[in-house]
Structure 1
């Protein structure tokens, strides 16, 4: 604690903190918390209803679209031309939930055919496009 001294140099500034007001404030706050905590934790017993929640796994359908090395497109295994492909894509985009488009292209197909197919799907409004690949077999 800081006490004054009887030196003649009474003009010096006392550089120590007076702890007495801080201790007083802390004791008052402690008493306030001791009194209010039992009031705050007062609980009302309620008999709440119970709900049973079972998640429904709704898997959206998928459309298999394949492209062979010549650029011919196959909708679920059936060959389609450009007009039929655009109509099928537009019809699939209107479904709720929207089906996933699984695009499988041959290794030797030109990228132009793949890009045109993806652009047609985007124009139709399909947002879920996945690429089907053949993973390498490790031996």
Structure 2
């Protein structure tokens, strides 16, 4: 009579299963791809609605110069808060080496009109002749 002996300890599987890691990485990649376009407008502004809105594709570019005025009257150049007195010099510095000298303006629909005009005057003091006023298209 013989003894049956199992030699499972000698057959150790040393392969790494990377399938769960690849699944997690693909889900993270999809999440980042969906969220990244939403990060362009870092300042929350309720844009006014317009019927005859023209699409400005250049406003969504990463190097576009964007000025925003919030409802409480704060002025932002990109995502940095600036004063109305400094906005002209900072815009002039950003547009110094650019061929397209257009600035895109995002004004809150409930903002004080005087604050918006002060920001527009600051933009004009930088020598900018093209200001793109960003709005949302009215849904019909």
User: 1:67-111 CA distances to partner (integer Å, 9 max, x unpaired)?
Assistant: 101110111122222344232122134334143211010010111
Determine the structure 1 residue equivalent to 2:68.
Answer: 66
Q: How many residues are paired up? A: 80
Where structure 1 has 5 or more consecutive residues not aligned to the other structure, the ranges are 1-58
Query: 1:114 aligned to 2:116?
Result: yes
CA separation in 1, counterparts of 2:124 and 2:88?
10
CA separation in 2, counterparts of 1:69 and 1:84?
20
User: 1:1-32 CA distances to partner (integer Å, 9 max, x unpaired)?
Assistant: xxxxxxxxxxxxxxxxxxxxxxxxxxxxxxxx
Query: Where do 4+ consecutive residues of structure 1 move more than 4 Å?
Result: none
**Root mean square deviation of aligned Cα:** 2.1
Determine the structure 2 residue equivalent to 1:131.
Answer: 133
Where structure 2 has 5 or more consecutive residues not aligned to the other structure, the ranges are 1-57
2:85–2:122 Cα contact (<8 Å) kept:
no
CA separation in 2, counterparts of 1:102 and 1:67?
12
Q: Flag the structure with larger Rg.
A: 1
Determine the structure 2 residue equivalent to 1:90.
Answer: 92
1:66–1:104 Cα contact (<8 Å) kept:
yes
